[in-house]
Copies of this chain bind each other. A is one copy, B any other.
Amino acid sequence: MRKLLLTLRFDGGAYHGWQVQQNGASVQETLQNAIEGVFGTRYGVTGCSRTDAGVHANMYCCCFCTESEISCEKVIAALNAWLPDDIGVYGCREVPKEFHPRYSCVSKEYVYRVWNSPYRNPFLVGRSLHYKYPLDEKALAREAAAFVGTHDFKGFSSSGGSVADTVRTVKCFEVARYGDEVVFSVEADGFLYNMVRIMAGTLLDISAGKIEKESIPEIIGSRDRSLAGATAPPYGLYLNRVFY
């Protein structure tokens, strides 16, 4: 029996997130269908994290076990032939039996993309949040620095998250501008439900003057979701890197 770790990209626009859902297509189910097409057997696939409906991934990792001896390179090609265009596998390697795509992960990086122009970009519709008013990326980087460290992020999570422990360690939070696009990158040992989307929404609300400057430490300390900003829409969010 081999345990295979797949690495994939997906455009989440058409999916109700990673996890199999009753009410619509999921990436997990679509991938399991492709694996069944290739191997003739329905294997369960374990992912590195849940993702919300509409969220994208530049890098998503998941595992399944198989008796098949087919080479990793052929697994990739065969899966890509079965998968729809909005999911693409680009890595496959054998991992030890005790490897777990979620629990073996030491940290993950998400990016949140903001198209910052008065004018729509047709190529980024559904791929980057259109924010029309000027953003000062240097000022936002100073605000966001308050996220870095080990904190109780309960105020930056939506109800519906099931975890008891809401303490996470944010290793890095960067705000960078690439032309008319502003990108937030956040690496942490784990993320609460909607955490990055609420962080992004809070930064935009600070920029808009809806939330006071330099108040992020206070919002973190309050553990009060109502003090943080809006939950930014899912289509600007990408799981970007998974570190093992």
Min C-beta distance of A30 to chain B, whole Å: 12
Picked from B10, B122, B127, the residue with its CB within 8 Å of the CB of A10 is B122
Question: For A88, what are the chain B residues with a Cβ–Cβ distance below 8 Å?
Answer: 119-122
How many residues in A have their beta carbons less than 8 Å from beta carbons of B?
22
Q: Residue A120 contacts which of B85, B122, B123, B127 (CB distance < 8 angstroms)?
A: B85
Task: With CB as the reference atom, state the residue of chain B lying closest to A119.
Answer: B90
Residues of B contacting A90 with CB < 8 Å?
Answer: 117-119
A47-67: contact bitstring with B at CB < 8 Å (1 yes, 0 no)? 000000000100000000000
A9 proximity list for chain B (CB < 8 A): 121-123
A117, closest chain B residue (CB)? B90
| A86 partner, pick from B80, B85, B125, beta carbons under 8 A | B125
Q: How far is the CA of A87 from the CA of B119 in the complex (A)?
A: 11
Q: How many copies does the complex hold?
A: 2
Indicate if A89 sits at the interface (CB-CB under 8 A): yes
Indicate if A11 sits at the interface (CB-CB under 8 A): yes
How long is the Cα–Cα vector from A83 to B123 in the complex, in angstroms? 14
Residue of B nearest to A91 (CB): B119
Residue on B nearest A120 in the bound complex, by CB: B88
Within the complex, the shortest CB–CB distance from A98 to chain B, in Å, comes to: 28
Residue of B77, B118, B121, B127 touching A123 (CB-CB under 8 A): B127
A31 to chain B, nearest CB (A): 13
A65-89 residues with Cβ-Cβ distance < 8 A to B are 76-77, 80, 85-89
Contact between A89 and B119, CB atoms less than 8 A apart: yes
Residues A86 and B117 in contact, CB atoms below 8 Å apart: no
Which residue of B85, B118, B122, B127 is within 8 Å of A87 (Cβ)?
B122
Measured between alpha carbons, how far is A56 from B122 in the docked complex, in Å? 10
Which 4 pairs across A and B sit closest by C-beta, in order of nearness?
Answer: A90-B119, A88-B120, A11-B122, A85-B125
13 contacts between A and B (CB under 8 A): A9-B121, A10-B122, A11-B123, A56-B123, A76-B118, A76-B119, A85-B120, A85-B122, A86-B122, A88-B119, A88-B121, A90-B117, A90-B119
